[in-house]
Structure 1
Amino acid sequence: MDKGIVYQLCLDFIKQRIQTAETALAQAREASNDDTKSSAGDKYETSREMMQQDIDRNKRLLMDAQENMKTLEAIGQATASDTVSGGSLVYTNEGIFYISISAGQLHAGGKTVFAISAASPIGKLMLGKKKGDDFSFNGKKYLLNEVL
């Protein structure tokens, strides 16, 4: 499994999230601008508030995606280490994990890789571990077979 391929899959994932958030934000702003005041003042204010909440939610999604992009870019510049850290590809007896951003299951080369954040519960348990170390999570024992 090539770490570069997994990195690219994460990059594609986050670019898609940014694009989706930008599109949703633009649509929400357009809908808000197109809304004209009607004679039913309360309905207008309620509608306006709902549109503003939609805009705010999409702004948060966009900011989150942009933060994930920064995290990913920093990982792309990280040097290889035999200790689990951001950017590590970790082979365990329970699966392959890429310590990066929370992107879920990714498929590369016929294998499934779990892209997880270092801040996730399982990510925190892996940080600082080396090949041969183990840890328990949700009642399962994980053995680190390889750290790339």
Structure 2
Amino acid sequence: MIELKKQLYNQCLEYVQSRLDAAQLAINEAQTASNNDTKSSAGDKYETGREMAQQEANRNMGQLKEANKLKIALNRISPNNIADTVDTGSLVLTDMANFYIAISAGTLKVNNSEYVAVSPFSPIGTKLKGLKAGDKFNLNEKNYLVKQVY
């Protein structure tokens, strides 16, 4: 199970890195566009374009900041830890779905099996926290049975 957790952890790292790269690229492109925007005789057009580029850069800086927060959250997880109660870094197998408690990264695939990477602070993450194999919980009018915790 540790090998599976490492694969899920690495997929989460790849997800965060792709978000970091995309945000950084967009920031660089916005900066380049702003620098290449030459002032024409229509001053208002120049100022409007510059303001739009600044807004885009600010939006991308926000995305970069969020991606960095995800990376920090991942850095606090050790995929080598195995526990019998659900906590951050746990792999949880239920009768309805499999969950990796780390960051919200969507569905991950390992060896043709699907695992949903969720934040410990998400609705499902908070429901799962502290549960053990054999425990049940309800979310969105669906009943779940925790089969295994790693």
Partner residue, 1:137: 139
Separation in 1, partners of 2:144, 2:40 = 61
Report the alpha carbon displacement of residue 80 of structure 1 after superposing the two structures with TM: 2.5
Matched, 1:89 2:91: yes
Of the structure 1 ranges 75-84 and 88-97, higher mean CA displacement relative to structure 2 is found in 75-84
What TM-score does the superposition give when structure 1 sets the normalisation length? Answer: 0.94
Correspondence for 1:8 among 7, 10, 19: 10
Unmatched runs of 5 consecutive residues or more in structure 2:
none
Aligned to 1:71: 73
Is the 1:85–1:118 contact (alpha carbons within 8 Å) kept by the matching residues of 2? Answer: yes
Q: Once the two structures are aligned, what percentage of the paired residues are identical?
A: 45
CA distance in 2, matches of 1:124, 1:44: 49
- The separation in 2 between residues aligned to 1:107 and 1:80, in whole angstroms, is 20
Are 2:98 and 1:107 aligned? no
Question: How far apart, in 2, do the equivalents of 1:54 and 1:76 lie?
Answer: 36
In 2, Cα distance between the equivalents of 1:19 and 1:138?
A: 35
The residue type paired with residue 40 of structure 1 is A
TM normalised by structure 2 equals: 0.93
Letter in 2 for 1:47: G
Tell me the amino acid that sits aligned with residue 14 of structure 1: V
Runs of 4+ aligned residues of structure 1 deviating over 3 Å after TM superposition are none
Residue identity matched to 1:101: I
Give 3-state SS (helix, strand or coil) of 1:76's partner.
Answer: coil
SS in 2 for 1:3: helix
Counterpart of 2:63 (choices 56, 61, 65) is 61
Q: Distance in 1 between matches of 2:50 and 2:84?
A: 54
Question: Could you tell me which amino acid in structure 1 is paired with residue 109 of structure 2?
Answer: H
- 1:31 matched to which residue of 2? 33
Matching residue's letter, 1:48: R
Return closer, same or farther for 1:110/1:78 CA change in 2, 3 Å cut-off.
closer
What's the C-alpha RMSD, in Å, of the aligned pairs? Answer: 1.4
1:78–1:87 CA contact under 8 A, matched in 2: no
Alignment of 1:36-51 (within 5 A): 36-51=38-53
